[in-house]
Amino acid sequence: DHTLQYYHTAVSSPDHEMPQYTSVGYVDRIQITRYSSDTGRSVPVAHWMERLEPEYWEEETRNNKQAQEASRRNVKIAMSRYNHTGFHSFQLMYGCELMDDGSTRGYWQYGYDGKDFLALDTERRVYYPITDQAQLSAQKWNSPEQRAGKRAKDYLEKNCIEWLKTYMEYSKKDRERFHPVSSRRSGSTMKLHCQVYRFYPRDVDVIWKKNGIDILPEDNRHVLPNSDGTYQLRATAEVTPGDGASYSCHVDHSSLDDVLPVRNTSTSRNDMACTLQDAVSFTGVFKSLMCYTILWKDSSSPPQIRKISSTNLQKNRSCATGRFSMCCCSKAYI
């Protein structure tokens, strides 16, 4: 399975840690692009993205400038609805996943101050509000005049998948040099990886547990900086496949009310590897965890990410030359 994902963050006022607006893109959890309001340019992060023609980066820059303006406005709109002043953030994350069997799925979600705000129901092609303050946005975007949900889903299952395939082709030689995230060694051991990414501030504690008991990680768990001012960390544990034990990764961070466990991982299963997450929530500022399960800490049900049928992927010239298009909601006002 393969994924293409984008994360946009706008804040009401910049500080020394982060710019007023950032946009980052990932293919299979590897960062490929970066845009910052500080530089005003879209630039490649993965070296193989440098093979794309200059026109691509010019359009990406134009699109990001438009998305930056929309995000700047959306922060102010959300603050007015909440009657807030001071420092606040508005976030958008969306992406698509291409399964090994050719099927696809996607998600499109908005957040305010680290909390879920508005999300796309991909089956019904409508946006649904998660807070009272998002009601007006859902009504506007679901109106017959806008039909924003349909356009967003069209992007996810067509243009997003097309670009994912394009990026996979560009990165093919690089990907062939790497092993899977989780693999057997000498036929008797397996490595489990728990990756926490885009968290802030820097201090974080990540612990692997076997049947509820702490186990020492294999590596030193170095915290690495991201280009947008956030951080990432990966904790690895070596285990014996088929031992029937239950493993869980526990994350303790200041953005969380409690320690966040990712449970119910057994070495008797075939899908042990920390692979591609279906979605993450906006719980906590710039925090997400990738390992074995969907995280949705503040909701009683998971995000509305359902299977979408594979369609004949015809290129739409107006939407396909960049990862965004004017018809997609990354540039829309809430």
Q: Summarize pLDDT for 259-269 with one digit per residue, the tens.
A: 555 544 444 43
Q: Which two tokens stand for residue 15?
A: 């500080």
Reply yes or no on whether the pLDDT at 125 is more than 70: yes
The domain segmentation of the chain, as residue ranges, is: 2-175+302-331, 184-274
Residue 146 vs residues 30, 60, 94: alpha-carbon distances, Å: 34, 24, 19
Residue 54 parent element (H or E): helix 54-82
For residue 249, count CB atoms less than 10 angstroms from its CB and return exposed for 0-12, middle for 13-18, buried for 19 or more. buried
**If one looks up domain 184-274 in CATH, what number appears?**
2.60.40.10
Tally of CB atoms within 10 A around 251 = 25
Q: In which band, very low, low, confident or very high, does the pLDDT at 294 lie, cut at 50, 70 and 90?
A: very low
Reply yes or no on whether the pLDDT at 177 is more than 80: no
Reply yes or no on whether the pLDDT at 241 is more than 50: yes
The whole-number average pLDDT for the span 213-231 is: 68
The CA-CA-CA angle for residues 116, 119, 124, to 5°, reads: 155
- Say which CATH class 2-175+302-331 falls into: alpha beta
The more confidently predicted of residues 26 and 275 is 26
| Cα separation, 214 vs 207, whole angstroms | 7
| Cα separation, 334 vs 331, whole angstroms | 10
Reply yes or no on whether the pLDDT at 324 is more than 60: no
The whole-number average pLDDT for the span 29-36 is: 90
The CA-CA-CA angle for residues 19, 24, 30, to 5°, reads: 135
| The predicted structure's pLDDT at residue 226 | 67
Please provide the average confidence, as pLDDT, over all residues in the chain: 74
pLDDT in tens, 145-162: 989 999 999 999 999 999
Residue 2 vs residues 38, 45, 71, 201: alpha-carbon distances, Å: 31, 18, 28, 29
Q: Which amino acid is at 301?
A: S
The CA-CA-CA angle for residues 249, 292, 128, to 5°, reads: 110
